[in-house]
Structure 1
Amino acid sequence: MYEGEIKKLKVEDLAHGGDGVARTKEGIAVFIPLTIPGDLIKAKITKIKKNYAFAKLIEIIEAGKGRKKPPCPVYNDCGGCQLQHLEYKKELELKNNNLQQIIKRIAGIDEYKINEVLAAEDDFRYRNKAQFPLTTKESGEITAGFYKRGSHEVVPYHDCLIQHPLINRILKTTLKELNKREISVYDEETAEGLLRHLVIRVGVCTNQALLIFVTNGNEFKAKENIAEKILAAIPELKGVIQNINNKNTNVIFGKKDIIIRGENYIKEYINKTAYLISARSFFQVNTLQAEKLYNKVLDFLEENNEQKIVDAFSGTGSIALYIAEKAEKVFAVESLKPAVKDGKRNAALNKIKNIKFINGLVEDELAKILAEEKIDSIIFDPPRKGLAEKTIDLLNNLEIEKVIYISCNPATQARDLKKLKGKYRLIEIQGVDMFPNTYHIESVALLKLKNKSGEI
């Protein structure tokens, strides 16, 4: 096998990143984007590693069961979605299989209950937040879109099918106003130019929106006039914000926000719980699926209003607020000060008084809480990298009756479950399809403390 070779391959599986997986006669795994299990294809080998290779789809000789024509006209180039060529029922089936395989392969656990992935009622138009990189056409026109697969080249597109419709309306209106003026766009190579990103947030249940201009520096001429024009055209828009990010980085937001016009937050609901969401607040991007996820957490907590619960990596307190009625007291631990501030504001909004918000690292604050309080349950919702070793060690040296572990990265979740399986038994895992048409899946795991004989 050599780079540039055209090979006939049968796709057998789907990798976690969304690529189809075929094997050569020599047993080498080949990863091919835009393919599904059952596809018989011709593919061009693009890169060869020691035990695997990558290829580009050239021709579908015979389509696998569940393949469909992707509805997005820029799907083959845009890197935002990976599974639009799959029927939704098949997508859910493969996501469930992947989740199960990851837990078995990495954690070495196969005795537990796994439920069918909770499907989205609508697999399109679900995202309540969009981050658009900007670029300039040869004509000088400012445009926006998403990064091409595996690159930072912008694929211009203004009607993304997985975004809430209001996001696309605001995007088109904003670009129209920007193009009436001479405004420079940031260039990653030279680190020059003003406009870096447009970020748009929408309250799905309230139809309120927030527009954020991410700029390379404070100077943004005519920003008040631009904001006023957009606000006049879009009544649902509640505020226009400027975020300053003058660092040479791939991180989208800087640390300084300036309100250009209007409010600096929107309101959203998950079930009956209200949330005020600011420009940089963390909030689940699929509001309706977040409700299903949080309801599963409530199910795992069961009926016991005398519990003391820790919500670790609490962000703006979205889970803590949602489960507060099930607890005597909730300790919400979060490292980012602005998120803690948002959490306190949202607790006041909902008249919830049994949450203590703590600003600090989970691996440090958890030990302090457990030294002073008898905690019944801990809910973890860590970033993609999973739990710190210090947190794992703490759990293995204590006896917490119930651990609920939410993850957006099944691989690191499985890694941590493996480290905890001597002390805690995995009872149940529930996948939640927060991101239809992409390879991403959210999962929530229930673990219970084993007794000295190793049983629950």
Structure 2
Amino acid sequence: MTKRKNKGYKKSGNKRNNPEKQNNKQHSPQGKSKGSPKTTNKPPRGRKGIIAEVTCTGLTKEGKGVFQWEGKELSVENLLPGETAEVIISQKGRFTNAELKRVIKTSEDRVISPSKYYYERGGCQIHHMSYEAQTRFKQHTIDQLMDPFGKPDSIITMDHPYGYRNKNTMTFGMNKKKQIISGLYAPNTHRIIPMDGSMIHDPKADEIIQTIKGMMKSFKMQPYNEDTERGFLRHVLVRVGKNSGEIMVVLVAASPMFKGKNNFIKALKKEHPEITTIILNINNRSDSMVLGDQEKVLFGKGTITDTLCGLEFEISSKSFYQINPVQTEKLYSEAIKMAELTGNETVIDAYCGIGTIGLVASQKAGKVIGVELNKGAVRDAIRNSKRNGVKNARFYQGDAGEFMVQMAARGEKADVVILDPPRSGSDEAFLSSIVKLKPKRVVYVSCNPETQARDMKYLVKNGYKVKEIQPVDMFPQTVHVESVAKLVLK
């Protein structure tokens, strides 16, 4: 492969990344390639600030623009490498804060985002970059992180990087004018950014959430107030079967007492006959979890189905199901290819969830063993196995690491271990169980390449070699990137 030029991305403790430039530039749906960010005339509230002219020299892993000021390296949102800008710099205690005032010289990588919430950053940190620039940024991240293991392949991109999320959640509250609002929390706060949709959400899901918000006043439904602990509706979660067209609406409430429930459901179904099930979920906790433990089906069967890699999956409100089904098929295809299945192998699907990747692997494996701690997910996996007529997969509730240690103690073998852990990655106990079991191949699917690199370092120290790394852009417009790697026993 040809060497890629570093386009000014910021290096941090671990080396980070840089991708190959695509030939055809892709811009936002409006087709505009450049735009200037909003001008801010005031320093942040409660702070004294000075205005400085700076030049952006790189990006942090969060997608913020990096610049030098009085011997300090600072970062600011919405600034791209090579751009010159005025920023407002203020001091609060030991911390120096920077806020973008205006861009003087814009980068060719800047686009006018199709999002109405361009400056609020409602879950999209890099939507001011062209998709080509986003791709370079993510490739750079992967290349730097994975440098100790070899050169990753070029990132697999998305043809239409908008409207891909099949699960949308909006939080409800009241503004200072006592008007009901819905939206997303501002980063690291409990302040709701009022939004009626997102460029990465399924449009129909956002439409349904806005319909619910509009109905609340006439049905005397109050949004929940976290400070007073009064009110009813906390969140609305909508799941969409992108292939089936089925839609689930989950009303997350602080109390099971839902006055006017039947009339509300009737009115919502009249506005959106495409809704196939409605669930009331009760969450009276004070933590950050969206869904509570108790729920009641108000309409429909309580689940939706969708098709992935030719298999049909039943999805509940709490099921882990990949957010971007289009890219998931590409990701799973790469994972199965790395597993090198011939029809005779025993495959362990660790962190199996509702069985998606294990059931996909079962089409080419001799036997699949799925292990998952969550009892509900295991029930879903068994149900999905039966739904698809899969005879060579078994699913067990328990700790996958302990399960593999017990297998090794009994002298049992596995040819391939596929793992898809949470963002925090795996722990040493689990990784050591892989080393004890000694599968020929390990396929590591990760939504956080930083923890993936950490875990692969352990496996490499203990007898494995990284043979291939394939990044996949599962989350366009955000800084997140998925990665799948193949490790083989030396």
Q: TM-score, length-normalised on structure 1? A: 0.92
Equivalent position SS for 1:315: coil
Deviation at 1:149, TM superposition (A): 3.5
Following the alignment from structure 1 to structure 2, what is the Cα–Cα distance between the partners of residues 221 and 6? 54
Following the alignment from structure 2 to structure 1, what is the Cα–Cα distance between the partners of residues 48 and 404? 51
Deviation at 1:10, TM superposition (A): 2.0
Contact 1:142 1:175 (C-alpha < 8 Å) held by counterparts: yes
| Matching of residue 66 in structure 1 with residue 109 in structure 2 | yes
Give the count of matched residue pairs.
442
- Residue by residue, what CA displacement relative to the aligned partner does 1:281-304 show, whole Å, maximum 9, x if unpaired? 110111111101100011101241
Deviation at 1:46, TM superposition (A): 4.6
Contact 2:405 2:437 (C-alpha < 8 Å) held by counterparts: no
- Find 1:337's aligned residue among 375, 381, 384: 375
Specify whether residues 449 and 29 from structure 1 end up closer, same or farther in structure 2 by C-alpha distance, changes over 3 A only.
Answer: farther
Counterpart in 2 of 1:153?
191
- The residue type equivalent to 1:43 in the other structure is V
Specify whether residues 361 and 166 from structure 1 end up closer, same or farther in structure 2 by C-alpha distance, changes over 3 A only.
Answer: same
| Matching of residue 446 in structure 1 with residue 486 in structure 2 | yes
| Matching of residue 379 in structure 1 with residue 418 in structure 2 | yes
Specify whether residues 177 and 269 from structure 1 end up closer, same or farther in structure 2 by C-alpha distance, changes over 3 A only.
Answer: same
Following the alignment from structure 1 to structure 2, what is the Cα–Cα distance between the partners of residues 188 and 364? 40
- Find 1:45's aligned residue among 75, 84, 89: 89
Following the alignment from structure 2 to structure 1, what is the Cα–Cα distance between the partners of residues 187 and 434? 39
In structure 1, stretches of 5+ residues that fail to align are: 451-456
- Residue by residue, what CA displacement relative to the aligned partner does 1:30-74 show, whole Å, maximum 9, x if unpaired? 121112222222222356798x95421112121123111122121
Contact 2:89 2:99 (C-alpha < 8 Å) held by counterparts: yes
The CA RMSD over aligned residues, in Å, is 1.9
- The residue type equivalent to 2:453 in the other structure is A
Specify whether residues 268 and 49 from structure 1 end up closer, same or farther in structure 2 by C-alpha distance, changes over 3 A only.
Answer: farther
- The residue type equivalent to 1:449 in the other structure is L
- The residue type equivalent to 2:154 in the other structure is E
- Residue by residue, what CA displacement relative to the aligned partner does 1:302-359 show, whole Å, maximum 9, x if unpaired? 2411110111111111111111112111111111111111111111111012111111
Following the alignment from structure 1 to structure 2, what is the Cα–Cα distance between the partners of residues 53 and 315? 43
| Matching of residue 82 in structure 1 with residue 121 in structure 2 | no
- Residue by residue, what CA displacement relative to the aligned partner does 1:388-418 show, whole Å, maximum 9, x if unpaired? 1111222334422111111111111111112
Counterpart in 1 of 2:471?
431
Contact 1:432 1:443 (C-alpha < 8 Å) held by counterparts: yes
Equivalent position SS for 1:260: strand
Counterpart in 2 of 1:162?
200
Following the alignment from structure 2 to structure 1, what is the Cα–Cα distance between the partners of residues 420 and 349? 8
Following the alignment from structure 2 to structure 1, what is the Cα–Cα distance between the partners of residues 146 and 91? 29
Contact 2:373 2:397 (C-alpha < 8 Å) held by counterparts: yes
- Find 1:56's aligned residue among 79, 99, 113: 99
Equivalent position SS for 1:446: strand
- Find 1:314's aligned residue among 343, 349, 352: 352
What does residue range 55-454 of structure 1 map to in structure 2 within 5 Å? 55-104=98-147, 109-110=148-149, 112-372=150-410, 373-422=412-461, 423-450=463-490
Following the alignment from structure 1 to structure 2, what is the Cα–Cα distance between the partners of residues 49 and 62? 32
Deviation at 1:256, TM superposition (A): 1.3
Counterpart in 1 of 2:60?
15
Contact 1:194 1:215 (C-alpha < 8 Å) held by counterparts: yes
Specify whether residues 44 and 397 from structure 1 end up closer, same or farther in structure 2 by C-alpha distance, changes over 3 A only.
Answer: farther
Equivalent position SS for 2:146: helix
Q: Structure 1 residues 343-352 or 214-223, which shifts more?
A: 214-223
- The residue type equivalent to 1:40 in the other structure is T
Q: Percent identity?
A: 32
Specify whether residues 296 and 314 from structure 1 end up closer, same or farther in structure 2 by C-alpha distance, changes over 3 A only.
Answer: same
Equivalent position SS for 1:83: coil
Deviation at 1:271, TM superposition (A): 2.7
Deviation at 1:235, TM superposition (A): 2.0
- The residue type equivalent to 2:362 in the other structure is A
Following the alignment from structure 1 to structure 2, what is the Cα–Cα distance between the partners of residues 94 and 40? 19
Following the alignment from structure 2 to structure 1, what is the Cα–Cα distance between the partners of residues 428 and 356? 25
Contact 1:79 1:150 (C-alpha < 8 Å) held by counterparts: no
Deviation at 1:119, TM superposition (A): 0.8
Deviation at 1:227, TM superposition (A): 1.5
Counterpart in 2 of 1:453?
none
Specify whether residues 86 and 49 from structure 1 end up closer, same or farther in structure 2 by C-alpha distance, changes over 3 A only.
Answer: farther
Q: TM-score, length-normalised on structure 2? A: 0.86
Contact 1:204 1:287 (C-alpha < 8 Å) held by counterparts: yes
Deviation at 1:145, TM superposition (A): 1.2
Specify whether residues 394 and 49 from structure 1 end up closer, same or farther in structure 2 by C-alpha distance, changes over 3 A only.
Answer: farther
In structure 2, stretches of 5+ residues that fail to align are: 1-46
